[in-house]
Chains A and B, each alone.
Chain A
């Protein structure tokens, strides 16, 4: 009598525990199957304080001469950019033609030099260069000291 009852309890308990574990596993699987939460892009969300009405600028309306001038300027700009683009393309074409001519002549001279010239230059890319600034660097300039604290929020999925 003393031995039989605890045995039954164990069986029932074990079964119940197993059923519980399976239910938990199923719930976990369901949660994992759900698509992960998207990380918000902070640049695309305007904070609400910038949409208040007192923030709206009050400027005089555009006169017709001003809008006329703007339209004409935009047209001039369009033409200027088109000419610039055409000139660039022409220059690149001339560059390529000059190189093809040089390679043709080289081929007439010797095949091995030609092969050496056609080979890819592994050390060329990645090519990094700092662009030009408005004024040249000032020799012996001591920039003011300061500390930069990075407060970007990092999200994990």
Chain B
């Protein structure tokens, strides 16, 4: 794929140099890049889905390796892989339906079979998706006859592909569907703020006092929506050292007319006794319901637990990561420059002191992220609604497939 390689390389460089930061921007750019990759991909004759998936895996591996801390990259890669799988299954189902229509000649089943061709491919795809998922109440109640018919036919003609002879149309169809689905994914990433903000009125009523730390665009939109619906609330914004993004959020809120008080991070415990709700954003949500959040969030969560204040995390679904966190403070963390904390010039004389083996006496630690365990979180508000931490694994099953957890290009070649 000569056309897409420079694009990939450029994006990898950007990730490595941390030129693009923030889950939203990263997710969007990753999705767009993968869409280009799919559109540039030359589809083979057999095993097209597998080949496509493999290509995506190859690119994805590079992207993830560029910035392993930026979990949104991996999330989007896995989403695309899942999309490919889904589209493949649904198009296979359609193909099978086409086959069964031509193959079947019994009169008794004619009436039944006559119904099937009228089902559009999209509906079939939707049904296929439902079949992939665990049966939900809706599917159980509404679609019993169709889905069982589909599964029957799908299983009966499992590995017959390409018999009907319109291989090229099918492959074009797969690519087209995948690209459309990725487009949907990009829309989903863009509109997550709106969907989350719609839920603001359910949670913010009158005379609320809300605490937040640092700045999250999701939280900002959430509060804007509540303000627009004329709910009365005040916000305590903790400044969020060492980036001090809290100041930016405070400015934005004040411009909208929200009563804002800026406090230092050390005052969080002191003020939280007067707070009704803590609303924060996240960098990523892990499979166990734990949250990777900007540094300082664990302190806020513990204080909220102590004072029985609900700790609400708002995050778009592109932040949902299928991985389980093992030692997240170290493995999923990034240490930034000490100059944020100590001025190099002022403390340069302290650098001169060292122990006998030459190691410096002065170390500075400046982590970027904090891990909040699921037991401290009261509620997750995502674009699909509000969920408890113990429900997050269900969402993951919806968006990702289990064999994509390790994104690695397989060594076998597909013709």
Chain B binds chain A: no
